[in-house]
Amino acid sequence: FTCYKCGKRYTWTDSLTRHLREGCGVLPKHICTICGRKFRRKDYLLRHENHIHK
């Protein structure tokens, strides 16, 4: 399954759907205050903080 906007390929249709829903080409807006890593979704940032900086 290929994104019609950017050409990125996915094995699963659900992955492509998520990619499009989250905004193809949208820059990450959630930034870890400890290491500066950037995330598109807040839940990914929170998971990162809990597992990496615990």
Longest Cα–Cα distance of the chain, Å, equals: 39
What DSSP string describes 12-37?
SHHHHHHHHHH-TTPPP-EE-TTT--
For 43, phi and psi rounded to 5 degrees? -65, -30
The first and second tokens of residue 17, run together, are 């759907």
pLDDT of residue 6: 95
Q: Are strands 30-31 and 38-39 parallel, antiparallel or unpaired?
A: antiparallel
pLDDT of residue 26: 86
pLDDT of residue 22: 83
**Model confidence pLDDT, tens digit, residues 1-54:** 999 999 999 999 999 999 998 889 888 999 999 999 999 889 999 999 999 998
pTM of the model: 0.62
